[in-house]
């Protein structure tokens, strides 16, 4: 059986594809107020503004391409049972060819019913608009986990992390919980890697190697090393 490699990714892995991160100096949360566009209250107050914000994000994602970091994770599938747990709402891991991708914070290319959360649809084209309805007749919302909402996939993510043989963290500020706590669910003894050009605060994590590089270069180097290792 292949060793299980669990990779926890954030906005930084898509930065080199031209998609803005959230908390860097040119990040989205510098430009927009979270409370205006990414909460249930924002949706109740101004649906058009929220839809417009995500329509712009969707356009950027659809125009972007996977980068070397996404590709490096695909090459690791030759030797490892790779599970990606991503906070990203883009589909660049899937488009690169990764087979097992769990989205914690939703998916920009999908919409969801506002009366029945099990009704999830692919969005045709770039936009979701006022008047777009589910099969039960209610307004569709972006299939995104907003601030203040439950993270329905979190339990599944814990189950995957608990069984990791190797764990990687790539391109996340680890600022948003519960996702940021995932590393605490990994087995203590396993090798862990963190790839990020910034200073990410991590305390009390055993066996952690920090690679202070952008994801493209850092992940390509690490993938090469892991693929060449005999263990
Ligand atoms: N390669 C790797 N990491 C990078 C790169 C790069 N080229 N460029 C920037 N980074 C790093 C930054 O140093 C930072 O640590 O990516 C991280 C981005 O952090 P955030 O913007 O906070 O993004 P993320 O951690 O994914 O945010 C978590 O917050 O608002 C939300 O729901 C949204 O899923 C998101 C969550």
CATH number at residue 34: 3.30.1600.10
Probe residue for ligand 1, chosen from 24, 27, 32, 88 as the CB with the greatest number of ligand atoms within 8 Å: 24
* Ligand 1, atom nearest to 69 Cα: 1
pLDDT of 165 reads 98
Task: Supply 2's token pair.
Answer: 């292949």
Same domain, 114 and 34: yes
Residues with CB under 6 A from ligand 1: 10-12, 15-16, 21-24, 27, 87, 105, 171-173, 175-176, 196-198, 200, 214-215
Q: Which atom of ligand 1 is nearest to the CA of 15?
A: 7
Say what the pLDDT of residue 230 is. 75
Q: Distance between CA atoms of 227 and 231, rounded to whole angstroms?
A: 9
The ligand 1 atom at the shortest distance from the C-alpha of residue 22 is 21
DSSP code, position 79: T
Do residue 225 and residue 129 come from a single domain?
no
Token pair listed for 173? 């500020």
Residues 126 and 156 in one domain: no
Q: In terms of domains, do 138 and 170 share one?
A: no
CB 119 within 8 A of CB 136: yes
Could you list the pLDDT tens digit for every one of the 231 residues in the chain? 999 999 999 999 999 999 999 999 999 999 999 999 999 999 999 999 999 999 999 999 999 999 999 999 999 999 999 999 999 999 999 999 999 999 999 999 999 999 999 999 999 999 999 999 999 999 999 999 999 999 999 999 999 999 999 999 999 999 999 999 999 999 999 999 999 999 999 988 999 999 999 999 999 999 999 999 876
The number of angstroms, rounded, from the C-alpha of 106 to the middle of its chain's C-alpha atoms is 8
Query: Are residues 7 and 85 in contact, defined by beta-carbon separation less than 8 angstroms?
Result: yes
Q: Which residue owns the Cα nearest ligand 1 atom 16?
A: 12
Instruction: Look at the pTM and tell me if it is higher than 0.85.
Output: yes
Same domain, 4 and 86: yes
* Structural domains of the chain, count: 2
Same-domain check for residues 157 and 211: yes
Provide the residue range defining the domain that includes 12: 1-17+65-105+151-231
The secondary structure element, H or E, covering residue 143 is strand 140-144
Please state, in angstroms and rounded to a whole number, the distance separating the CA atoms of residues 167 and 183: 8
Phi, psi dihedrals of residue 193, rounded to the nearest 5°: -130, 145
Q: Torsion over CA of 63, 67, 72 and 77, rounded to 10 degrees?
A: 0
The count of other CB atoms within 10 Å of the CB of residue 20 is 16
Distance 77 CA to ligand 1 centre (A): 24
Helix (H, G, I), strand (E, B) or coil at 91: coil
């Amino acid at each position: 059986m292949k060793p299980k490699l669990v990779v926890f990714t954030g906005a930084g892995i898509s930065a080199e594809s031209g998609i803005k991160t959230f908390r860097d100096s040119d990040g989205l949360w510098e430009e927009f107020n979270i409370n205006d566009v990414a909460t249930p209250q924002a949706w109740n107050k101004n649906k058009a503004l929220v839809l417009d914000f995500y329509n712009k994000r969707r356009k950027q994602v659809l125009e972007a391409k996977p980068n070397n970091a996404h590709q490096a994770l695909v090459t690791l599938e030759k030797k490892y049972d790779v599970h990606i747990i991503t906070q990203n709402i883009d589909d660049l891991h899937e488009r690169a060819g990764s087979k097992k991708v769990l989205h914690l914070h939703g998916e920009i290319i999908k919409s969801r019913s506002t009366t029945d959360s099990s009704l999830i649809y692919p969005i045709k084209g770039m936009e979701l608009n006022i008047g777009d309805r589910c099969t039960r007749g209610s307004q569709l919302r972006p299939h995104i986990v907003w601030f203040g909402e439950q993270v329905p996939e979190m339990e599944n993510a814990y189950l995957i992390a608990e069984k990791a043989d190797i764990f990687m963290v790539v391109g996340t500020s680890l600022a948003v919980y519960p996702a940021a706590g995932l590393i605490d669910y990994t087995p203590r003894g396993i090798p862990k890697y963190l790839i990020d050009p910034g200073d990410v605060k991590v305390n009390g994590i055993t066996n952690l190697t920090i690679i202070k590089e952008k994801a493209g270069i850092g992940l390509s180097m690490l993938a090469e090393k892991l693929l060449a290792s005999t263990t």
